[in-house]
Amino acid sequence: MSIQISAKPRGSELTGRLRREAGSWLRDRREAQGLSQRELARRVQMEYYTFISQIESGRGRVPAERLEAWAQALEIGPQEFAKTLMQYYDPITYGLIFPPSNGTIL
């Protein structure tokens, strides 16, 4: 009997999955606004539109200092936008700040 040891810790796998889900949510919002990645990059003052692709594929995060610009570009209130991304990017903190109604965290 051999034991398989994962190259990545479970936390990294969860982080990757949540970032991909965040990216999918962001892509859906961008497409709902009829924006290309290039146009969104221009609106959030990113030099390279490929950065948008990286975020949407889960290989990056929206920088905290750009949350408000992203919210405005995607026509979402900044608090709602930040709160939604926090669910994906920092679910433990999100659970502490916004506990479920049943009192359990995560």
Domain residue ranges of the chain, discontinuous segments joined by +: 10-97
**pTM across the whole model:** 0.82
Amino acid at 99: P
Q: Which two tokens stand for residue 38?
A: 């290039």
Query: Higher confidence at residue 99 or residue 8?
Result: 99
Nearest Cα neighbor of 40 from 22, 15, 62 is 62
pLDDT for position 38? 97
Q: What is the pLDDT of residues 41-100, one digit of tens each?
A: 999 999 999 999 999 999 999 999 999 999 999 999 999 999 999 999 999 999 999 988
Specify the CATH superfamily of domain 10-97: lambda repressor-like DNA-binding domains (1.10.260.40)
Between CA 81 and CA 8 the distance in angstroms is: 30
